[in-house]
A and B are shown apart, each in its own frame.
Chain A
Amino acid sequence: MNVAALLRERVWSASIPVEISLHSADCSSYEAVPYLVHVPRLSYLAFLLPKLHTYFHANLIYPDVSPFDAWLEYDHVPLKWHYPLGLLYDLYSGAEPASSHNTPAEQAIVPSSEEEETPPWKLTLHFSSYPKDQLVQLDAHEKHLHDLFINNVKEADYLRNGTGKTVMSLSKEDSEQLWEGVRQRDYRRFSRINNKFLNPQGATLRHVPMRLYLPHAASPQVGKPSSPSSYPQERGKIEKAIMPGSVRVVQGLIPVSSSSRESLPPELRSENCADKVLGQRQTVGTALNTLLPSLFRNTRGPCLIAAPVLHGAILPLDAGVEDLIRTAAYVDGWLHIAFVML
C-alpha cells in the first residue's frame, strides 16, 4: 500500500473515546450511568442519537421525547451537528494537539498513539431546551444532516473542479451510496464515489476546499465592536453577541498550485524564492498567508499566537495542500482546520 492510501485509511479509522452523560434536568434517577463509545473523527454525532435515546430511555423524565430533540454540549457549547467530531474535538476539547516538530509531514497527520492515550471526551446530553438559535433542528430521517452534508460536497466539488459538474452528474444511486458509505462507515462504498471527485476526468484540481475555524480570541477582526452605523435598526443587539464556542469561519479561493508570480505573496516574488514556488504546490503556509495575512505573515515561519490543527495534529506549514486533500480531507471533501491558541 502506498503512503497516501495508508494515510487515507488511518484518517478514516481514527476515533475519539467519548463519554456521554445525561443532563440532570432530563434524568429521572439520581444519576444515569454514562454511555461510552469510540466515535470516528470523520463521523457526525447526530448518528448516535437513536442509540443514546435507547440507552437512556429508562432514565428519561419524559420517555416519549423524540431522539431528535436531543442535543449535545461540551462546557456550555452546543455541538453543531454538521461539524464532524474530529473538528469539534480539535476546536473545543482543549486537548493538546500532537506536534510535528522534526517529523515528516506524512507521519504527523495522525498520531498513532492517540487512541490509547486519549482520555474520553466528556459530553452532556440534553433532551429539553433545544438551543434553536444555535443548532439546526434535526429530523427523524436525518434529512437536515444529509442536506448540510450534500451542500458541503457540492461546494467542495465546485472548488476542486471549477464547476459543480461531478456532483451534479452523479446518479441518484451514487449520491445515496456516498451518504450511506458515510452513515454506515463503509469505506469501500464511500471511496468509490469519493475517488470520482478527487480524480475528475480530463481536469486538474483547481482550488482547495479549505475552511478555517478561528476561536474569537484568535481572530483579529472579531471582538472589536462593529461601528454603530453598521446596524442602525438592530433591536435587542442580539446579532453580534458572541455565544459560547462561537467561531469565525474563514474560506476563500486558494489555487491548488501557484501558477503565476502575481499570485504569490509579495515576499516570495523575488527571483530566488519565486522560482522555488512557481508552478509548485500550494502549502499550508502559503494558503494561510493568503487567508489570514495578519496572523500568518510569513509562509514558512510559524505564527506565534495560533496554530492550525487537523485530525489532532498541528499542521506543518510546508505540507502540500493537494496531498492533504487526497489523504486527510473530511468525508464532505473539506479540510476543516481548527486553530488553537499557543
Chain B
Amino acid sequence: MDLVASFPHLSAAEFHTACTTLVDSFNLLQAASHKEHWTACTLDSHESLLRINKEFPVPYPSESHVQDNEDAGLEEDDEEALDHKDVNTPLIHYDILLSPTYSVPVLYFHISDTLHRYPPTMDTLYKHIITQEYIDQTKDVGVLGGITITDHPILNRPVFFIHPCRTAEVMEASMGGKPATSLGYLLMWIGAMGKSVGLDIPLQLILQAKR
C-alpha cells in the first residue's frame, strides 16, 4: 500500500482505501466467526462514512429511567424494533468522516437507544461515555472541553464529536516521524482518538488488516 502523500493530512482517496481495507478485514473475521466486540464495521461509499457499532453496556437496571421513557414517548419506528431480541441493549455508533476543511478524519459518535436514555448532552458524555481516567484531560480543552456536541454532517442532528483542529498535530506525534500507509494512519488515528470514548481496535482485526 502506498504511503500517505501529505502526512499528517489524508486525501479522500487515501481515506477511502483505508476504510475499505478495514471493512474487508472485519468481514473476513466475521466470516471466520471470530467474535468481535464491534457489532458492525461498514462503509457508506456514497457518503464516505465509516461506521463502527458497538453494544453500549447498561451498567445497572434502568428502573430510574422509566419516567424518562414515558416522557419521551415511543417513536413510530420502534414498533418494528421491538421484534429484535435484545432491543434494549443500546448501540454506540462511531462515525468517521474525512473533514473537507482539515483533511483529517473526524470522529462523531452517538448512542441509539429505544428507551432514550442517552441523549446527546454533556451529562451523558461525562456520566456514561468518557472513562474516568480521561475526564480531566478532556475537560481542559476549549470552551467546553475537547469533546463537545455538534450537528452530524450527514444526519444533521446533534451528536458528540472530537474537534479536528489538533488532529494533525496528534498524528505527527503519534507516528513519530515514521512514514505511514493510509491503513496505518487510520489504525493509529482510531487508537489516538477513540480510546477516551470507548473505541478501540480488536487486536485480531489489526493483524488481519495488516496482512
A→B interface (CB under 8 Å)? 80, 82, 129, 132-137, 139, 143-144, 146-148, 150-151, 154-155, 158-159, 164, 168, 207, 221, 226, 229-233, 235-241, 243, 246-249, 251-253
Which residues of A lie under 8 Å from residue B156 when comparing CB positions? 246-249
Q: Is the CB of A238 within 8 A of B112?
A: yes
Which residues of A lie under 8 Å from residue B133 when comparing CB positions? none
Which residues of B lie under 8 Å from residue A137 when comparing CB positions? 119-122, 149
Given contacts A151-B150, A158-B102, contact A144 B144 (CB under 8 A): yes
B→A interface (CB under 8 Å)? 39-40, 42, 44, 46, 51, 53, 71, 75, 77-78, 80-81, 84, 87, 91, 100-102, 112, 114, 116, 119-122, 142-144, 148-151, 153, 155-158, 163, 165
Complex: A252 Cα to B122 Cα, angstroms: 29
Instruction: Name which of B39, B84, B119, B158 has the most chain A CB atoms within 10 A of its CB.
Output: B158
Q: Is the CB of A80 within 8 A of B151?
A: yes
Which residues of A lie under 8 Å from residue B81 when comparing CB positions? 235-237
Known: A239-B155, A251-B100. 13 other contacts (CB 8 A): A132-B119, A134-B158, A136-B158, A137-B119, A143-B143, A144-B144, A151-B163, A158-B102, A230-B44, A231-B40, A238-B75, A246-B156, A249-B153
Q: Is the CB of A235 within 8 A of B121?
A: no
Q: Is the CB of B40 within 8 A of A233?
A: yes
A233's partner among B44, B91, B116, B151 (CB-CB below 8 A) is: B91
For the A-B complex, the count of residue pairs with Cβ-Cβ distances under 8 Å equals 112
Nearest CB in chain A to that of B93: its residue = A239
Q: Is the CB of B100 within 8 A of A253?
A: yes
Q: Is the CB of B148 within 8 A of A147?
A: yes
Q: Is the CB of B143 within 8 A of A241?
A: no
Which residues of A lie under 8 Å from residue B46 when comparing CB positions? 221, 226, 230
- How close is A38's CB to chain B, nearest CB, in angstroms? 27
Given contacts A231-B51, A236-B78, A236-B112, contact A147 B84 (CB under 8 A): no
Given contacts A132-B121, A249-B153, contact A155 B101 (CB under 8 A): yes
Given contacts A136-B149, A226-B44, contact A146 B143 (CB under 8 A): yes
- How close is A234's CB to chain B, nearest CB, in angstroms? 8
Complex: A241 Cα to B71 Cα, angstroms: 21
Which residues of A lie under 8 Å from residue B151 when comparing CB positions? 80, 82, 136, 249
Which residues of A lie under 8 Å from residue B80 when comparing CB positions? 236-237
- How close is A172's CB to chain B, nearest CB, in angstroms? 11
25 residue pairs from A and B, CB less than 8 Å apart: A132-B116, A132-B119, A133-B119, A133-B120, A136-B149, A136-B150, A137-B122, A144-B148, A144-B149, A151-B148, A151-B163, A155-B102, A207-B101, A229-B42, A231-B44, A232-B40, A233-B39, A235-B87, A236-B75, A236-B80, A236-B114, A237-B80, A238-B77, A249-B151, A253-B100
